[in-house]
Chain A
Amino acid sequence: MCASPETENDMGAPLAIDVSGLNKHFGDKHVVKNLALQVREGEIFGFLGPNGSGKTTSIRLLCGLLTPDSGQGSCLGLDVVKDSARIKSQVGYMTQRFSLWEDLSIEENLDFVARMFGVPDRRQAVTRALEELGLASRRRQLAGALSGGWKQRLALASCLLHRPRLLLLDEPTAGVDPKARRDFWEEIHRLSAAGITVLVSTHYMDEAERCHRLAYISYGQLLASGTAEEVVGSLRLNTWEISGQKLHGLAESLQRLPGVEMVASFGAALHVSGRDAALLQTSLETALAGSPLEMRPIPPSLEDAFIHLMRGDQDQTASGGH
């Protein structure tokens, strides 16, 4: 399209988002701390972190809805601070909370958004979006009358209308049923294959695993980023799975053992993790000696890794590598 002087990273792939040192305060609360983020063109980038960690704020900084207190960078080759008006026209931003007009009908909402972005062949584009959504027959229904999941789907359709080059999706699948969620991710991968960059925040592990690369943010600080394997690997975590009958109450006693940093229940099994492999193993073996429970080492999952990261937040000793 336009020959924008996109920045490139070491590997030569052009970057859709390349920011560094972004800071944002609300009053005296430091919500985003020195955020550095690099997202390659055409990739699906997952943005994870506990509630209140600053995901929404970071996304708003990227598309110019908030002005950073300091920091610089580019988004689609345009300056995030100075060119936010031009960035907006090439970005599709889906807000975390439904923010279309509830007192407008489905069709009117799409039509309005299409007008705002100056979509060519507007009527046709809206009709096509309605048909793809499967809402053509309910086009005159007020958006406010839709169920939560349908609202999400309408919101996604509305931010795709102007064929953006970059999608910023803030928890797009919250409250969406599994079938619709799968369809949604199929769509995301189709878009990504077509060269659209997608940055998506989520709390779901299965969704995180479907992303090309991930970033984990906590208390406004980027703690880990890379592919899922890289993120898990960087934590140097060792995990044992304990299975058997009567796991009840076991988690608490295991938690107190030396070398055990985290115990999490997964259905009929417990995942016990720690960074010191030898200490963890001896602790578990002594604790479970004589009991009918089985223990076996497993590769730590992404979820183990993230829960581990969240634990770290709580005692403020997080030292996750990049």
Chain B
Amino acid sequence: MGRFSSFSVARWLGILIKEFLQLKRDRLTFGMIVGIPILQLLLFGFAINTDPRHLPTAVVMADPGPFARSYVAAMENSSYFDIVGSIDAREADALLDEGRVKFVVTFPPGFHRDLARGLSPTLLVEADATDPMAMGGALSVLSQLGLQVFAPDLPGTRHSPPPSPPVDLRVHRRYNPEGLSTYNVVPGLVGVILTMTMVLMTGLAMTRERERGTFENLLATPATPLEVLTGKIIPYIIIGLLQVTLILTASRWIFDIPIRGSLLLLYAMVLFFICANLTLGITISSIARNQLQSMQMTVFFFLPSLLLSGFMFPFQAMPGWAQAIGSVLPLTHFLIIARGILLKGNGLELLWPHIWPILLFIGVVLAAGLKTYRRTLD
């Protein structure tokens, strides 16, 4: 009914200018835009540590002897590893690339024979080091397992400690060779900060007008909902992109984070992600009656995003229900995308499984938003 029929660029421009002017006068919001990214970057980059278990692990068995099998059993018993199966090397590599497993353990040919002879065969462990916090505990357990598992069965070690460890454990830290946890946190922060500021600021955008009574004036003009909503969103898209640039620049300076993938692709993904958060924010603000309600709804969304997206705790280490909730949240997918592009240099095909859930989210939330948008004061 004419909702989208007469889009006036002149009016839209007027709304855009007004939003920018108001933003310029709002010192606190302006401070938030710059302050939040810097503050969080420093806080999270240096401060957080965790010891997760049940990390998905793939095993490549070139020599399926009894020693290898008892080693795998011991890994599972340690509760740090969940063995997803034995597969060939190429498949394992792909799983690691897609982030479906955190570890790939390779038993070389002749493992059993060499071990029995005391030749210290090489056990290759490839670890997804983009999330080094998730690895620390697991890797130290792995290095002790060799002694515990094999010592009782090997000749000459029953009474005296062996002269050298029975296996030669080689850890390849993939994607993040030095195991720096800030590598993981910085791409995550891009997502967290965008979630927080975008949802919050747009959530307040409409309720502020309603609470101050200016909404009545806006409604009395011929401006259409689409003009108002998009006019209000654009400044925040620009702010979001500014914040991302700020974080990326700061993280290069302070933490030396590499950018392995395409920067253009990253910004394209950021744009999708920003849109997801803005549509949510606008929808919140058309449902909420006042600014307080809007804030509460924002927090209600932000907390699970923070806790269940894989930012705070490794996604795979969470219980099933938490993963189910997490996989609905745009942040979960954006984290994988951002880490993939920044640290692994992933391309579009590899990221697609995490792009469509974000697009779906936008679609569903936008539909809800337009349905609840009140075009009158009722």
Contacts and interface: CB of A to CB of B under 8 A. Distances in A.
Q: Do A and B originate from a single complex?
A: yes
Interface of A: 60, 63-67, 85, 88-89, 91, 93, 95, 97-104, 108, 111-113, 115-118, 142
B216 A85 contact: no
B14 A112 contact: yes
Secondary structure at chain A's binding surface: helix, strand, loop or mixed? loop
Interface stretch (B55-63, B189-197, B219-227): B219-227
Given A85-B2, A85-B224, A93-B220, 13 more contacts: A64-B376, A65-B220, A66-B378, A67-B378, A99-B215, A99-B216, A103-B21, A104-B18, A115-B10, A115-B13, A116-B223, A118-B10, A118-B11
B14 A116 contact: yes
B222 A117 contact: yes
B259 to A, nearest CB: 39
Contacts of A142: 25
Interface in B14-28: 14, 17-18, 21-22, 25-26
B214 interface: yes
A88 B22 contact: no
A116 B18 CA distance: 11
B158 interface: no
A104 B11 contact: no
B377 interface: yes
B8 interface: yes
Contacts of B377: 60, 65-66
A65 B212 contact: no
Greatest chain A CB density within 10 A among B2, B212, B222, B376 is at B222
B285 to A, nearest CB: 17
A117 B213 contact: no
Interface string B202-217: 0000000000111111
Contact of B214 (A60, A93, A100): A100
Contacts of A102: 212
Contacts of A118: 8, 10-11, 222
Interface string B118-139: 0000000000000000000000
Nearest to B13: A115
A5 to B, nearest CB: 20
Interface of B: 2, 8, 10-11, 13-14, 17-18, 21-22, 25-26, 212-217, 219-224, 376-378
A101 B17 CA distance: 13
Contacts of B217: 95, 99-100, 113
A104 B14 contact: no
A99 B18 contact: no
Residue of B17, B25, B221, B376 with most partner-chain A CB within 10 A: B221
Contacts of A91: 220
A168 B114 CA distance: 95
Contacts of A98: 213
A88 B222 contact: yes
Contacts of B22: 101, 103-104
Nearest to A83: B2
Contacts of A66: 376-378
Contact of B21 (A63, A85, A89, A108): A108
Given A65-B376, A66-B376, A99-B216, A108 B222 contact: no
B17 A112 contact: yes
A34 to B, nearest CB: 19
A95 B219 CA distance: 11
Contacts of B223: 116
Nearest to B227: A116
B220 A108 contact: no
A101 B14 CA distance: 13
28 contacts: A60-B377, A64-B376, A65-B219, A65-B220, A65-B376, A85-B2, A85-B224, A88-B221, A88-B222, A95-B220, A99-B212, A99-B215, A99-B216, A100-B217, A101-B212, A102-B212, A103-B25, A103-B26, A104-B25, A108-B18, A112-B14, A112-B17, A113-B217, A113-B221, A115-B10, A115-B13, A118-B8, A118-B11
B208 to A, nearest CB: 10
The 5 closest A-B pairs by CB, nearest first: A115-B14, A116-B221, A99-B217, A93-B220, A89-B222
A304 B2 CA distance: 49
Given A99-B213, A118-B10, A67 B376 contact: yes
Contact of A112 (B18, B212, B213): B18
A56 B21 CA distance: 30
A89 B10 CA distance: 15
B9 to A, nearest CB: 11
A95 B216 contact: yes
B289 to A, nearest CB: 14
